[in-house]
Amino acid sequence: MADIYRTIMDGAKGMNAGDLDAIVARYRLPFVLCIDNQNTVIETDDHFAQLLSEWQQSMLAHHVVRTDTKIVSQFVTDDDMAFVVTDTKLVNAEARVVRRKTLSYVLRCIEGAWKIVVLSCNERAAVDTRSDAQFELSA
C-alpha cells in the first residue's frame, strides 16, 4: 500500500512543481482518462504532453498555484491491481479553493512498479472558501 500511496502523492507533488517528467512517470501508456463522463485513450507521449500543457494552461487561467490532495480510499483488488480515490482541491495564491475534484485511479503493478492506467476526474459540487489544513500534501 505504501508504494501505491507514493505513486499518487509523488504525482501530485509533480503537478505542484510543474515537473512533467514526475507526472508522466506515474502513468502507463496507453491509459484511459475520464473527465466529466468523457473518455479519452491517451496512447502516445505527444498526446500526453499536449494534455499536460492544456492542463497547465487551465490552472494558470484559474490562478491555481497548487493542488491539495488527500487519499480518501484505497484498496488492492488483486496482486497487481489497485483502486484509489482522492479528494483534490485546486488552491489559488490567497489560499482559496477555486475548484474541488474527486479523482479515481486504477493502478496496475507492472514490472514491480505501480502505474496509473485509468484516471477519472469529476467536479465536486461544493466549493470551500479556503484550503483545508487536514490535507496531506501542499506545496
CB 39 within 8 A of CB 28: no
More confident residue, 39 or 138: 39
**How much is the pLDDT for 21?**
86
Distance CA 121, CA 37 (A): 9
Average pLDDT over residues 13-34: 90
**How much is the pLDDT for 125?**
55
**Lowest mean per-residue pLDDT among 13-17, 53-57, 84-88, 128-132:** 128-132
At a CB cut-off of 8 Å and minimum separation 6, what does 17 contact? Answer: 139
**How much is the pLDDT for 135?**
46
List beta partners, residue 27: 116
Q: Is 39 exposed, middle or buried (0-12, 13-18, 19+ CB in 10 A)?
A: exposed
Distance CA 139, CA 61 (A): 19
Nearest C-alpha neighbor of 127 from the set 79, 84, 91: 91
Whether residue 28 is predicted with pLDDT greater than 90 in this model: the reply is yes
Convert the pLDDT of each residue in 104-137 to its tens digit. Answer: 999 999 999 999 999 999 887 544 444 454 444 4
- Cell 496512447 belongs to 43
Distance CA 89, CA 22 (A): 20
What value does the mean pLDDT of the chain take? 86
Convert the pLDDT of each residue in 58-70 to its tens digit. Answer: 888 889 999 999 9
At a CB cut-off of 8 Å and minimum separation 6, what does 106 contact? Answer: 81, 82, 83, 116, 117, 118
Convert the pLDDT of each residue in 87-109 to its tens digit. Answer: 999 999 999 999 899 999 999 99
Average pLDDT over residues 50-62: 87
